[in-house]
Amino acid sequence: MGIFTTAAGLDMLLHWGHFMAGVAWIGLLYYFNFVQTEYFKEADAAAKSDVIRKLVPKALAWFRWGSVATLATGLGIFAVRGGGMPIDIYVGALMGLLMFTNVWLIIWPNQKTVIASAEQVATGGEALPEVTEALAKAGLASRTNALFSIPMLFFMGSSAHYPHSSGIIAMLVAVIVILAVEYNAAYALIKHLDVVKKLPAAGIMGPMASVKGVVHCGLGLTVILFLILELL
């Protein structure tokens, strides 16, 4: 029963849980971005309302709690290993952490507004006035998470199969690049902060509006971050 009592056994079990939770979380992220969003562009109002009221809440429950389980098992792996891992894992973990915060601070709160508005319309009421803004905020954060997932998964894999030994400069540059992308997604949430008021306005969907665009942006960010770790 050493698998439950040794560090190596616990590490293996945590990785298993991390993979399972991550598959559920990222799988639903891809469903929302690559399937449901594209369907909504073609669906009529009644069909869209039915999906939002009956399917979306269930999918979002698996989605957000999958993110919790992924984070918890990831932190467990760090605790068991005690640090000293390749820089790749820290770059991937940073994007995973930002994706988690996007789920709970932007996507889920705004999706609750969207669901509440659909329920109100279905019972003969008017759509909530803030629903359009809520959709935009949740959509941008979700697209950003889809973008982040591509390099995040790459660096989780490269940490075991193509690890980098880059130093603090490479890590700092990578962090700046990642935070710049996150700033665009979180701008609507943090724009009231004094320090943010001194920075450029953001919150732009840009090429992420299309499936092809978000995939290309994700691949582009992967290349940029890889070159940072490879060359610095």
Q: Is a pLDDT exceeding 60 seen at residue 194?
A: yes
Q: In this structure, what DSSP letter does residue 85 have? A: -
| Rounded average pLDDT over 207-227 | 97
40 band by pLDDT with thresholds 50, 70 and 90? very high
* Single-letter residue type at 11: D
Structural domain count, the chain: 1
Q: What is the pLDDT of residue 232?
A: 87
Exposure of 128 by Cβ count < 10 A (0-12 exposed, 13-18 middle, 19+ buried)? Answer: middle
Distance CA 191, CA 131 (A): 19
More confident: 3 or 17: 17
Q: Greatest CA separation found in the chain?
A: 60
Radius of gyration from C-alpha coordinates of the chain: 19
147 alpha-carbon distance from chain centroid: 8
Q: Is a pLDDT exceeding 60 seen at residue 1?
A: no
Two tokens at 50? 């039915």
Q: What is the pLDDT of residue 2?
A: 59
120 band by pLDDT with thresholds 50, 70 and 90? very high
3 band by pLDDT with thresholds 50, 70 and 90? low
H-state helical runs in 123-210: 131-161, 168-190, 194-197
Range of the domain at 179: 2-231
Coil, strand, or helix at residue 41? coil
Exposure of 25 by Cβ count < 10 A (0-12 exposed, 13-18 middle, 19+ buried)? Answer: buried
Q: Is a pLDDT exceeding 90 seen at residue 182?
A: yes
Residue 82's region, left for phi above 0, alpha for psi from -120 to 50, else beta, is left
Tens-digit pLDDT profile for residues 72-102: 999 999 999 887 789 999 999 999 999 999 9
Q: What is the pLDDT of residue 195?
A: 83
Two tokens at 231? 């060359």
Q: What is the pLDDT of residue 36?
A: 96
